[in-house]
Amino acid sequence: LVEAWGTIKADPAHLYAWALGNANPDIRMQGIWLVGQRGDRAYLERIAPMLKDADSGVRGMAAWAIVRILGAEYGRGLET
């Protein structure tokens, strides 16, 4: 369901808040995916700490989203 928001032009702020703060790692992962899919730079600082999440899927998705959003701009140090 969260993936459907990847193409919807509505403001996803409430969905981001729910998904990124969710206790379920699968839902957090989908929220991170949505941030990356939409290229939402405003949420980079929100997902950067997820590079250290206890769940490996969340960590991997956070890395993917950051690189997808920043592309060639990505540099070491964001993860700290």
Q: Which domains does the chain have, with CATH numbers?
A: 11-71 (1.25.10.10)
Three-state SS across 10-78? CCCHHHHHHHHCCCCHHHHHHHHHHHHHHCCHHHHHHHHHHHHCCCHHHHHHHHHHHHHHHHHHCCCCC
- pLDDT tens for the chain, residues 1 to 80: 556 666 667 788 988 999 999 999 999 999 999 999 999 999 999 999 999 999 999 999 999 999 999 987 766 655 55
pLDDT at 72: 73
pLDDT at 71: 85
